[in-house]
Structure 1
Amino acid sequence: MAGTNVRINGVHHLAISTADIKGQIEFFSDVLGAELVALFWMHGVPGGWHGFCRLNDFCSVAFVQLQGNADVDAEIGVTHAGSGAGTSAPGTMQHVAFNVDTHDELLAIRDRIRSRGVNVIGEIDHGMCRSIYFAGPEGLTLEVATSEAALNPEAWIDPEVVELAGISPAELDRFKNPAAYSGEGGTVTQPPMDPARPHLNYPPDRYEQVLALSDAEITAMSSYAEPPVRV
C-alpha cells in the first residue's frame, strides 16, 4: 500500500431493510434485471436473512430481513421520502440512483420497467446526467441514470449553494482535494471513544467491550468465511 492514495472507490453493496425479502428480490430480478447471487442467514445476526442482487461483479443491492422489521411503521416524510423531491429524516436514504452506461440503455431499461406494469417518470435531462424515476416495493424511491462524462466541479459546484451551506473557501478547497493518505499497514489502533464522533447503535456496555477488543480478536470471533453451500 505504500505510496497508494487510499480512498473509497465505489459501492460494494447498498443494504435495504425489508419485511418481504422475496418480494424485493422478485422486483429487482424481474423488473430491473439484477440476478440473485446470494441469500443466506445474516452473519452474526440471529434470525436475520441477507440477500444480494448483482449489479456487476463487485457491486450489489442487498436486502436485510430481520425479525421485527415488519413492526416498524413506514412514514412518508420521515422514514421514506416518497419521491425525489420528498423530505425524510437526516441520515436516511432519500433515493437511490442506479447506473446504465448509455442513453439507449436508459430508454431500454425504461421499457423493461414499464413492460412489468411499473410507472416511470422521465427521462429528465439534468445536464450532469439523464434520469428516470419510479417506485420500488416498500416505499423505495428509485432512479436509473446515465452520464456521458465525469463531472466537472468547476461547472457543477454552485457558489451560491456553497455559501448557503456555510462552506468557506478553505473548506471548499479541502472538500475538492481530500488529503492523500497511503495507510500505515493496518497498524493504527482504535482511538478513544469520542461522543462527538458517529457511533454504531449497540448497547453502551457491549459497545465499549467490542471497542476494547483487538482487531485480531474481532476477526477471530466474528468472521464467517464459508459459503452456505459447498460447491
Structure 2
Amino acid sequence: MSDTQTINGINHLALATANLKSTLQFFNEVLGMPLVALYWMHGAENTAHAFLKLNDSSLLAFVFSPNIPTDIKLGITHSGNPGDPCTTGTMQHLAFNVDSHEQLLIMRDRIRSKGIHCFGPMDHGFAEAIYFSGPDGITLEVATLTGKNVKNWIDPEVVSAMGISSDELHVLENPEAFEQPPTSIPNQPIESASQLRMSYPEDLYSVMVNMTDNEFTETTRDAIPPTQLENG
C-alpha cells in the first residue's frame, strides 16, 4: 500500500498576464523572486511562459499571449480583496509563505518601501498573514504558520453548513490510500471517462487520449527551447 499523501507541495502556479515584462518586474522588485525560465510555450502559438523561483522545488509562473483579455470585473474575474467572491474555479487570492513572524514583518516593510499599501499581520490562530494588491488585479498575501493546532480551526458549524457528515469529515481528514497496480493504468476511452477534461479541439483530444504514455512523452518532448538548439 503506497503512502496516502503523495502530493508534497505546489510545483508552480501559472497565472495569465497581458504585460509579462511589468509583471515579472513587480514580483522581482517587490517580493525578490529571481527569474529562472522564460521561453515560448510548447504547442501554443505566440505564447510565452515565465517562471520565478520561490524555493528549490516551487515556482510562480506566468503565461502571456497577445490574446489575453484585460477586462477585469470584480466579483466575476477577480475578487479585489481576500474576502469577496469571484467566479467558481478562479483564484480568489494567492498566498506566499515565509518561515517566521519576523520574516513576515520584513516582507511587509519591503512591500511598503515600494509605495504599496500592505495590511497586517492578521492573526488567524494557526497562521499570520499580510495582504496587498499585485498587478493584473491579483489579491496577494504572505503568510506564516504559527504551529498552533490547525484542527481547532475545523469549525463544526461550518462543517454542518457545508453539508459534510461526520463520516465524510473523517474521509476528508484521512484520504483513502492508493495501491499502485503492477502495470500503469491507460486513459479510458472518451465515452466512458470522467466528464472532467481539458478544453482542446475534439480531434486533437481524441488523438491525445489514444496515445500511449511513451508516445505522448516523445511527441511533446521539449527538453531545450528550439531557439537554444538553433544557436547552440
TM-score scaled by structure 1? 0.92
Q: Unaligned stretches of 5+ in structure 2?
A: none
Specify the code of the residue in structure 1 equivalent to 2:6.
R
Aligned to 2:147, the other structure's residue is in SS state coil
Report whether the alignment pairs 1:8 with 2:13: no
Please name the residue that 1:177 is paired with. Answer: 174
Q: Unaligned stretches of 5+ in structure 1?
A: none
Q: How does 1:158-177 map to 2 (within 5 A)?
A: 158-177=155-174
Aligned to 2:175, the other structure's residue is in SS state coil
> How many angstroms does 1:108 deviate by?
0.1
Paired residues of 1:6 and 1:182 also in contact (CA < 8 A): no
Identity of aligned residues (%): 42
Q: Tell me how large the CA RMSD over aligned residues is.
A: 2.0
> How many angstroms does 1:179 deviate by?
1.0
- Residues in 2 aligned to 1:215 and 1:8: alpha-carbon distance in whole angstroms: 21
In terms of mean alpha carbon deviation, does 158-167 or 143-152 score higher?
Answer: 143-152
Please name the residue that 2:56 is paired with. Answer: 57
Paired residues of 1:121 and 1:132 also in contact (CA < 8 A): yes
Aligned to 1:92, the other structure's residue is in SS state coil
Please name the residue that 1:39 is paired with. Answer: 38
Aligned to 1:9, the other structure's residue is in SS state coil
Specify the code of the residue in structure 2 equivalent to 1:7.
T
Q: How does 1:182-197 map to 2 (within 5 A)?
A: 182-184=179-181, 187-193=184-190, 194=192, 197=195
Paired residues of 1:78 and 1:87 also in contact (CA < 8 A): yes
Counterpart selection for 2:86 from 79, 85, 88: 88
Q: How does 1:201-216 map to 2 (within 5 A)?
A: 201-216=199-214
Please name the residue that 1:67 is paired with. Answer: 66
Specify the code of the residue in structure 2 equivalent to 1:8.
I
Aligned to 2:104, the other structure's residue is in SS state helix
Specify the code of the residue in structure 2 equivalent to 1:152.
V
- Residues in 1 aligned to 2:74 and 2:168: alpha-carbon distance in whole angstroms: 34
Aligned in 2, Cα 1:7/1:150: closer, same or farther, shift over 3 Å? Answer: farther
Please name the residue that 1:218 is paired with. Answer: 216
Give CA deviations for 1:99-132 in whole Å, capped at 9, x if unaligned. Answer: 0000000000000000011110111111111110
Aligned to 2:95, the other structure's residue is in SS state strand
Paired residues of 1:31 and 1:116 also in contact (CA < 8 A): yes
Paired residues of 2:129 and 2:143 also in contact (CA < 8 A): yes
- Residues in 1 aligned to 2:218 and 2:38: alpha-carbon distance in whole angstroms: 23
- Residues in 2 aligned to 1:102 and 1:29: alpha-carbon distance in whole angstroms: 21
- Residues in 1 aligned to 2:81 and 2:26: alpha-carbon distance in whole angstroms: 18
Specify the code of the residue in structure 1 equivalent to 2:47.
G
TM-score scaled by structure 2? 0.91
Aligned to 2:14, the other structure's residue is in SS state strand
Give CA deviations for 1:64-94 in whole Å, capped at 9, x if unaligned. Answer: 002300x352211101111101111000000
Aligned to 1:162, the other structure's residue is in SS state helix
- Residues in 2 aligned to 1:58 and 1:183: alpha-carbon distance in whole angstroms: 25
Matched residue pairs, number? Answer: 228
> How many angstroms does 1:188 deviate by?
0.8
Please name the residue that 2:105 is paired with. Answer: 107
> How many angstroms does 1:4 deviate by?
4.2
> How many angstroms does 1:45 deviate by?
1.2
> How many angstroms does 1:206 deviate by?
2.1
